[in-house]
Structure 1
Amino acid sequence: EELGKLGVWVRMHYIYPYPHVADVIPLMAEGKILPYLDIPFQHASPQVLKNMRRPAHGEKTLDRIRGWREICPDLAIRSTFIVGFPGETDDDFEMLLDWLDEAKIDRAGCFKYEPVRGARSNDLGLEQVPQEIKEARWHRFMQRQQKISATQLARKIGKRLPVLIDEAHDTSAKGRTKYDAPEIDGSVHIQSRRPLRAGDVVTVKIDRADAYDLYGSAV
Structure 2
Amino acid sequence: MAVPKGKKVDVVTLGCSKNLVDSEFLIRQFKANGIEVAHDAETPDGEVAIINTCGFIADAKEESIDTILEFAEAKKRGDIKQLYVMGCLSERYPGQLKKELPEVDKFYGKFDWKDIVSEIGATYRRDLMNERSLTTPDHYAYLKISEGCNRTCSYCAIPIITGKHVSRPMDDLLEEARRLRDTGVKELQVIAQDLSFYGYDLYKSYKLPHLVDELAKIDGIEWIRLHYAYPAGFPLDVLKVMHDNPKVCNYLDIALQHISDNMLELMRRGVRKNQTYRLIEEMRKQVPDIHLRTTFITGHPGETEKDFAEMEQFVKDIRFERLGVFPYSHEDDTYAHKKYKDDVPDEVKQERADRIMDIQNGIAKEINQAKVGKTLKVIIDREEGDYFIGRTEYDSPEVDQEVLLHKEENRELQKGEFYNVEITDSEDYDLFGIAK
Q: TM-score, normalised by structure 1?
A: 0.94
| 3-state SS of 2:420 partner | strand
Q: Deviations over 1:42-90 (max 9, x none)?
A: 1111111111111222222112111211121110100111000000000
Q: Would you say 1:164 and 2:379 are equivalent positions?
A: yes
Q: Would you say 1:95 and 2:310 are equivalent positions?
A: yes
For the Cα contact (< 8 Å) 2:300–2:342, is it kept in 1?
no
Residue 8 of structure 1 and its aligned partner are, at CA, apart by: 2.9
Aligned residue type for 2:412: P
Alignment partner, residue 208 of structure 1:
425
Question: Which has more radius of gyration?
Answer: 2
Residue 21 of structure 1 and its aligned partner are, at CA, apart by: 3.2
Alignment partner, residue 215 of structure 2:
3
| 3-state SS of 1:115 partner | coil
Q: Deviations over 1:7-28 (max 9, x none)?
A: 2311111001135432111222
Structure 2 unaligned blocks of 5 or more: 1-212
For the Cα contact (< 8 Å) 2:222–2:247, is it kept in 1?
no
Q: Deviations over 1:161-210 (max 9, x none)?
A: 01000113697311000000000000000134310111010111011222
Moved more, 105-114 or 18-27: 18-27
Alignment partner, residue 147 of structure 1:
362
Moved more, 32-41 or 189-198: 189-198
Alignment partner, residue 173 of structure 1:
388
Two-structure CA RMSD over aligned residues (Å) = 1.6
Alignment of 1:97-112 (within 5 A): 97-112=312-327
Aligned residue type for 1:207: T
CA distance in 1, matches of 2:386, 2:427: 22
| 3-state SS of 2:381 partner | strand
Alignment partner, residue 98 of structure 2:
none
Q: Deviations over 1:106-161 (max 9, x none)?
A: 11110001211112102223461012211211110110111111222222111100
Aligned residues: 219
Moved more, 54-63 or 38-47: 54-63
Structure 1 unaligned blocks of 5 or more: none
Q: Would you say 1:77 and 2:77 are equivalent positions?
A: no
CA distance in 2, matches of 1:133, 1:170: 39
| 3-state SS of 1:24 partner | helix
Change (3 A) 1:169 1:141: closer
For the Cα contact (< 8 Å) 1:86–1:127, is it kept in 2?
yes
CA distance in 2, matches of 1:173, 1:21: 37
| 3-state SS of 1:14 partner | strand
Q: Would you say 1:66 and 2:278 are equivalent positions?
A: no
CA distance in 2, matches of 1:48, 1:139: 19
Alignment partner, residue 132 of structure 1:
347
Alignment partner, residue 45 of structure 1:
260
What is the percent sequence identity of the aligned residues? 36
Alignment of 1:15-34 (within 5 A): 15-30=229-244, 31-34=246-249
| 3-state SS of 1:12 partner | strand
| 3-state SS of 1:38 partner | strand
| 3-state SS of 1:35 partner | strand
For the Cα contact (< 8 Å) 1:58–1:99, is it kept in 2?
no
CA distance in 2, matches of 1:58, 1:103: 13
CA distance in 2, matches of 1:134, 1:82: 9
CA distance in 2, matches of 1:148, 1:140: 13
Alignment partner, residue 331 of structure 2:
116
| 3-state SS of 2:226 partner | coil
Q: Which has the higher contact order (CA 8 A, sep 6+)?
A: 1
| 3-state SS of 1:174 partner | strand
Q: TM-score, normalised by structure 2?
A: 0.48
For the Cα contact (< 8 Å) 2:256–2:294, is it kept in 1?
yes
Residue 216 of structure 1 and its aligned partner are, at CA, apart by: 1.0
Change (3 A) 1:42 1:186: same
Aligned residue type for 1:15: A
Change (3 A) 1:169 1:86: closer
CA distance in 1, matches of 2:312, 2:303: 13
Residue 5 of structure 1 and its aligned partner are, at CA, apart by: 1.4
Aligned residue type for 2:288: P
| 3-state SS of 1:74 partner | coil
Aligned residue type for 2:312: L
